[in-house]
Structure 1
Amino acid sequence: MWSYGPHNANPTMWMGMGFGLIVLLILLALAVWMIIAASRRQSANTPSQSSNRPVETLKERYARGEIGTEEYRERMRELEGDKRG
């Protein structure tokens, strides 16, 4: 009769198990890589404490045409004065 012990195992069975293990390891590595990439992207999009957000906002408003050149220059001087003082 058929024997299912380790000594009588079919070699293709071991190859199939090895292939399954390789696929599982690749999927696990892919999942870890995706988590790391997502966390790096998240931290890159988070503004740091050292960034100068008021100046960026002022530049954006000027670029959109919400404020004129004189107002932009005046506010920029005020912000630069705040950094120095």
Structure 2
Amino acid sequence: MMSWGYGMGAGMWVSWIILTLVMVLVVLLVLRASEPRTPPGRSAGPRTAFEILAERYARGEITTDEYEERLSHLSS
């Protein structure tokens, strides 16, 4: 019987390396899955006042006059 060092054969070392790589891969996948998702076309950063105003106008929360007035305040 041939010995490969401290009682472990080459297959045992390969098994440990593969197991370690699989564990790292699982951790990376869990971390990636836990990141917040952003809709397409939006940045991951905070929304600007212009975006919030446009969304409120699109939902009908404010009238056209209110939208234009607030837009002019933001632009100045």
> Which category describes the TM-score, using the shorter chain as reference length?
0.5 to 0.7
Residue 22 (structure 2) pairs with residue 22 (structure 1): no
60, 69, 77: which one pairs with 2:64? 69
Structure 2: gaps of 5 or more residues:
37-42
Structure 1: gaps of 5 or more residues:
1-6
- Bigger radius of gyration: 1
- Aligned pairs for 1:4-83 (under 5 A) are 8-9=2-3, 14-30=9-25, 31=27, 33-34=28-29, 37=32, 41=35, 45-47=44-46, 52=48, 54-81=49-76
CA separation in 2, counterparts of 1:27 and 1:34? 11
TM-score, with normalisation over the residues of structure 2?
0.57
CA separation in 1, counterparts of 2:75 and 2:33? 35
More helix by share: 1
Identity of aligned residues (%): 38
